[in-house]
């Protein structure tokens, strides 16, 4: 569901063109690619994520991405996101502008008070990172009983979003 929502939000704000004007196959008049770094919060990790996604587009043999790359004149984001890894998907979410993150998050969290938006966005991203780590633990044959996520949900964030006493500090500290 995250991939579908991300694809819709990206298409809504940046269009469906995956190529910049200087790239072969560019759609005339389509504007800047939704994969252009200028659309997102810039960081070295953002560059790494976009490089990884562009490499994926060029090299994947998995449909529907391969089909759209080879048979159509563009690769819409909702098609691209279907084949991206959870790392690429979560990392892409983290690159979004805050308003766009909020739009994605609002499809999962029913009410986001204006004074808790930043906490909610961080908790949302960290939750998906924990899910990704858990999925990788299972997929790569690691011992599930020994799973410990490197990502954390902050105790203060839990208290601010769900109220004091939802989780006690002593429970939080033992995981």
Beta-carbon contacts of 126 under 8 Å, excluding residues fewer than 6 positions away, are 151, 152, 153, 154
Omega into 3 within 30° of 0, i.e. cis?
no
pTM: 0.81
Identify which of 143, 134, 108 has the alpha carbon closest to the alpha carbon of residue 123: 108
Residues 10-46: pLDDT tens digits?
999 998 878 765 666 656 666 678 888 888 988 888 8
Beta-carbon contacts of 14 under 8 Å, excluding residues fewer than 6 positions away, are 32, 33, 34, 36, 39, 77
User: Whole-angstrom Cα distance, residue 21 to residue 132?
Assistant: 35
Residues 64-115: pLDDT tens digits?
999 988 898 788 999 999 999 989 999 999 999 989 999 998 888 777 777 7
């Amino acid at each position: 569901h995250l991939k579908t929502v991300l694809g819709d939000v990206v298409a809504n704000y940046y269009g469906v063109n995956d190529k910049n004007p200087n790239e072969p196959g560019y759609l005339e008049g389509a504007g800047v690619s939704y994969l252009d770094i200028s659309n997102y919060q810039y960081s070295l990790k953002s560059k790494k994520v976009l490089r990884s996604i562009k490499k994926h587009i060029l090299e994947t043999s998995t449909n529907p991405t391969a089909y759209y790359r080879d048979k159509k004149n563009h690769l819409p984001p909702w098609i691209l996101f279907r084949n991206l890894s959870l790392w690429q998907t979560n990392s892409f979410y983290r690159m979004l502008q805050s308003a766009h993150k909020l739009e994605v998050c609002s499809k999962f969290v029913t009410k986001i008070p204006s004074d808790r938006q930043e906490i909610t966005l961080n908790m949302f991203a960290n939750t998906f990172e924990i899910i990704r780590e858990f999925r990788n633990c299972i997929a790569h044959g690691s011992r599930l009983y020994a799973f410990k996520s490197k990502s954390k949900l902050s105790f203060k964030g839990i208290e601010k979003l769900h109220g004091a006493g939802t989780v006690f500090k002593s429970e939080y500290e033992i995981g």
